[in-house]
Structure 1
């Protein structure tokens, strides 16, 4: 398979997701007793090995829409096609969807404007926008940074409109930009958080700065494992993904560490996998894991289309 920055990111997300699907909701202690060591199946959702969840489906929906340019209404339609017609589902069935995302897509279906569809209350800060936001990073060469982060915020709002969720997505994309530029993970992390600080030092984001204190502190990798949570809360997922990337030395190590934290294993794996895929490259993803992925040829074709559309080749 041809390697590219787009394929590295998309497959990085999907493989991390698929590794976590069979053990979603397993506790950390369960994962210690029976750690995930490779691609498996028939666990939590009784799906075959290589099955990806809503994390990858919505990532692919976004990537598919971007092949025709950036259009929030088109992205919203793509999300609805996944939810109601199982487009970009691995086996023609939607088997995993978060409550906040479900309600937001229902609002999109009813015609609510995309930037108004996502929940904005404090309890609407699950990781459902962070898990799918990666494809927007590939605009980094053609858009001013502030405009790109603005698009990231708007795209988050399709399902998650609270400033905290928008910020998590913006920080993630800012760090991913550094990785695409060839920076090592630690440098990409430091420069990434510094780049977005001016944006997040103003309303409506400044009130959330304290929430992201550990991330902005630039030392997330020094925390012990017991200080890293792996629930479906967006801040936990962002912190865990950065911690896993910064405390490992390969794609496989990073995503296995993420999945074996337990809890929301598919999303922690997917979010970590997106960054690790970009940094280490497609070739670094174990081939036996890639070969197990459902509809992998379709994912490769999608990456090629997006790369051509963004003129990255």
Structure 2
């Protein structure tokens, strides 16, 4: 796949250029759509059973567990904070690339600003008080809904100080709130893998400061990155393990990924085998379960149902699995009935297409000398 440009997560960006062919652009857009929609579908499948044990799931929904959306938050197909934060990650990454025209280039700052806009949706009644410089996503009324957000995400974004690796927010927290929002970093296909990993790590430390919390996010982003470039999932996991090995405090994340790989060889997939990997409340467990279910998936439907039918954080493990399967297969592989019913589908597709267009045709949309007024209205430089 052609690349649109490399970068660094801190200062000192290097902007490469490459020509995207039409077929490559279409393939990339399909993977972006698949990743974001797939994550939303997995999130929604798990939302109604997030706090239930496997026994409770089977009692309520039959021996096979959930096989379709079940009502959550007053409707079928409802998404949770996992998808909300993923969308704001995308928004922040687009804004970072647009702001590069001003000479400002520090993507963690732009992602942090986007997460702060998400945080406002958890406090405010609606988008009435949003400013023009907040962009279009922050004015989407359907996102102003509190869907069991994690405490570390809320507290980490409660003030305007940005957590860093040197001084992270919530230094003891390794909740899955880092992993479930980090797939979009992997969609930066023009970046080098180590920079994708680093950016995801830096942005995870804004809310979760435990090494497992932020390294699991980096590993997930690196896996998605390899998939978006057309590599196989097992190869992508092996590449992530190599990157992890060089990082202090990697042991829990490394072991969790190795357990996911090992579980593939232990026999037919089952809820019991999923539960042997954990419950998904912590970052490394959510990553392990999501990776395992994607590795053994017969198709997207099978993988997603396996990922949510367990006693644990079903929406987060479903979201991670959906991100992976969507990045592998593209949006046309997703079960159309589930896609049709997903909350916010139009907005998710709109954002996915904007991200794909920015990554492949950004120089035609904006530059230091001239820019599309419509694009700057959507993604202000401020």
Q: Same fold (TM over 0.5)?
A: yes
Equivalent of 1:209 in 236, 245, 251: 251
Measure the CA separation in 1 of the matches of 2:275 and 2:89. Answer: 34
- Aligned equivalents of 1:296, 1:211: Cα separation in 2: 32
CA distance in 1 between counterparts of 2:141 and 2:328 reads 26
Contact map agreement 1:245 1:275 (CA 8 A) in 2: yes
Give the alignment of 1:259-298 within 5 angstroms.
259-298=308-347
Name the CA distance, whole Å, in 2 between partners of 1:197 and 1:269: 23
| Alpha-carbon spacing, 1:136–1:91, altered in 2? closer, same or farther (3 Å) | closer
1:168 pairs with 213, 216, 230, which one?
A: 216
Q: Using the alignment, how far apart are the partners of 2:141 and 2:54 within structure 1?
A: 28
Q: Which has the larger radius of gyration?
A: 2
Q: Does structure 2 retain, via aligned residues, the 8 Å contact 1:51–1:90?
A: no
Describe the SS at the equivalent of 1:69. helix
Q: Does 1:188 align with 2:218?
A: no
Q: Is the 8 A contact 2:179 2:216 kept in 1?
A: yes
Match among 116, 139, 144 for residue 192 of structure 2: 144
Q: Secondary structure of the equivalent of 1:212? A: helix
- SS of equivalent residue, structure 1 residue 16: helix
Contact 2:112 2:206 in 1 (8 A): yes
Shift of 1:312: 7.2
| Per-residue Cα deviation, 1:76-101 (whole angstroms, up to 9, x for no partner) | 22222222235467453223211111
Residues 32 and 296 from structure 1, CA distance in 2 versus in 1: closer, same or farther, beyond 3 angstroms?
A: same
Return the offset for 1:182.
2.2
**Length, aligned pairs only:** 297
Tell me, yes or no, if the aligned pair for 1:68 and 1:309 is still in contact at 8 Å: no
1:104 counterpart = 2:156:
yes
String of CA shifts for 1:144-187, please: whole Å, max 9, x gaps: 22222111111111111221112111221222222222233223
Contact map agreement 1:28 1:260 (CA 8 A) in 2 = yes
TM-score of the superposition, structure 2-length normalised? 0.72
Alignment of 1:228-267 (within 5 A): 228-267=277-316
Distance change >3 Å, CA 246–CA 74, structure 1 → 2: same
1:122-133 equivalences in 2 (<5 Å) = 124-133=173-182
1:26 and 1:244 mapped to 2: Cα distance? 19
1:157 aligns with 2:157: no
Secondary structure of the corresponding residue to residue 23 of structure 1: coil
Q: Extract unaligned runs of 5+ from structure 2.
A: 1-25, 98-106, 123-137, 267-272, 363-382
Deviation at 1:198, TM superposition (A): 4.5
